Structures are given as structure tokens and as C-alpha cells.
Amino acid sequence: MNSIIVYIIFFVIMLICASLGAAIFYKKYKLKQQEFIPRIILLTLVSTIIISFFGTTYSISLLYSKDKEITSISRPNSGDGDNKISINVDSEIYSGAIDLEIQEKKMTFEEALDIFSYYRTELDTYVLNGNSSFLNVISPLCFPSNIGDENIQISWFIDRPEIIDYTGHIITENFLEDKENVEITATLSLQEHTAEVCYFITAAKAPLSAKEKLSAYINEAINNESSLHEDNIKLPTHINEVSLRFYKTKKDFPPISFCWIDDISTHIISSF
């Protein structure tokens, strides 16, 4: 409606200007009728073009300057956090700007479950921490407190912390058998949704290295009951058909001592 009124006003003004201009031309230059009519038509066309231009420009300015009525606003995506906006409202009791605080979108349980499933393999890798299998855990595990870009929080419960503690270390001193079973539960939390992942762990003593086995055998051999009352300790010469030789290495003291003594360390020549 405003645009139509503007067009009419501009049209009337331009017609008046065209008429005045034609009258001036006619009076000043004594134009003949065949010359006067084309001038009027030309002025009318020019007036129409000018009216259209200014009217259209004004209408566009009105369109963009006027507040656009809306019926909905966008909610921030999950993880983006809450958002504050200012919006104009028109009502019988108040008209003007008000501030709104829009909470982020909450995901459904199905959406959260999809995210939990997506990070399951990554979580398993973290927990294993280099072990080859949950059925043969011989080195410390890892229990992360969070995972993923969505910052999934994780809490842990261990049913036998005397075997595997909350730092992931295996306490072999408390083993009653060569292997011990432990159940570990991870509770994943994302917004108001939670899910549990259960790990059934078989913890085992790490196999002794050749050095550890040989050291244990030699210590047992030289500290048996029959040799504790003897002045000299006889070193074993064989173990499981593997020959053993021992020797002392010489190490010199600083020059100020002016003497040489033997270091009492022994070296095993053969491999075990």
C-alpha cells in the first residue's frame, strides 16, 4: 500500500512539472501545435521513467528497512553451547527488543549411542595399551577419563583392584594362580545419556626373560640349605644342559689409591 501511494505522489508531481515545463516552452518559444504535442509526450515518458526509478528505489528501501516477521529461530547444534540473541517483539503489553537465551540442541539416546559405538574401537585400543588381547594382559592397561571430539566422559569400576589397580598396573604379588580374571566396567557419559562397556580381563604374569630365569636358578643354587654353612660358594656349571662359565672382571681404582683390586661382579658367557 505504501508503494502505491508513493507512485501516485511521484506521478502527480511529475505531471505538474511536465505541464509547467510545456507551458513555459509554449509561451517562451511560441511553439506550434505539431511541435508542442511531441514535447508533451516526451516529457510524459521521461516523467514516467523517473517516477518508476524513484518509486522502485523507495519501495526496496522500505522492504529492507522494515523488520521481517519471523515464526521460528534456529537452535544451536549439539556441542556448540547455548546462544544469546536479541529479537524484537510486538504485543499488547510490550513492543520492543528482548533478549533470549537459547539452549543447544539435545541429542537423542539413539544419536548418543551411535557416537558411543563410533569410539568403541578407539577405546579398546586405549585400554589394551599395547597388550595383544584382553585374554592375555601382561603389561599395564590404560583407563582414559574422556575420549572423542564430543568430550565423552568415562568413569571406571574394577571388581578386583587388588589384581589390577585404577592406574592400570597388574599386581602379580596378589596372584593366587598364574592367571587371574578381572571385570572392568567403563561408564560413558554424553549430555544426559550414559552407556556401559564391560571388559573381561585375564591378567597373567609376564614371562621371565632369559636373564631373570637364569638369575633365579643361580640364586637358588647358591643359597640352598646345604651351602649356607660353607665358607666358599660353588657356582653351578650346567643348567638344562647349557654350560655356564663365570669370571671376574678387573677394574682399577683412581690413581691416588695406587692399588688394583678385583671387582666381585660375575659375567655369564653362555646364553640361556
Residue 18 pLDDT: 62
Residue 227 pLDDT: 62
Q: Give the three cell numbers for residue 157.
A: 569400576
The 3-state DSSP class for residue 59 equals: helix
**Short-list 185, 181, 177, 219, CA closest to 203:** 181
Residue 70 pLDDT: 78
Distance in angstroms (rounded) separating the CA atoms of residues 147 and 92 = 51
**Residue with grid cell 666358599, as numbered in its chain:** 232
Where do the domains of the chain lie? Answer: 2-65, 109-204, 210-266
**Region 109-204: CATH code:** 2.60.40
Residue 147 pLDDT: 96
Give Cβ neighbours of residue 251 (< 8 Å, ≥ 6 apart): 263
Distance of CA 216 to the CA centre of its chain: 49
Q: What are phi and psi of 154, to 5 degrees?
A: -130, 130
Per-residue pLDDT of the chain (272 residues; tens, 9 = 90+): 555 665 567 666 766 766 666 666 555 555 555 555 566 666 666 766 776 676 667 666 655 655 677 788 888 877 677 888 888 888 888 888 888 888 888 889 999 999 999 999 999 999 999 999 999 999 999 999 999 998 999 999 999 999 999 999 999 999 999 899 999 999 999 989 999 999 999 999 887 777 877 787 778 777 775 566 777 777 777 777 778 877 777 665 454 433 333 333 333 334 44
pTM here?
Answer: 0.53
Q: Give the three cell numbers for residue 132.
A: 595383544
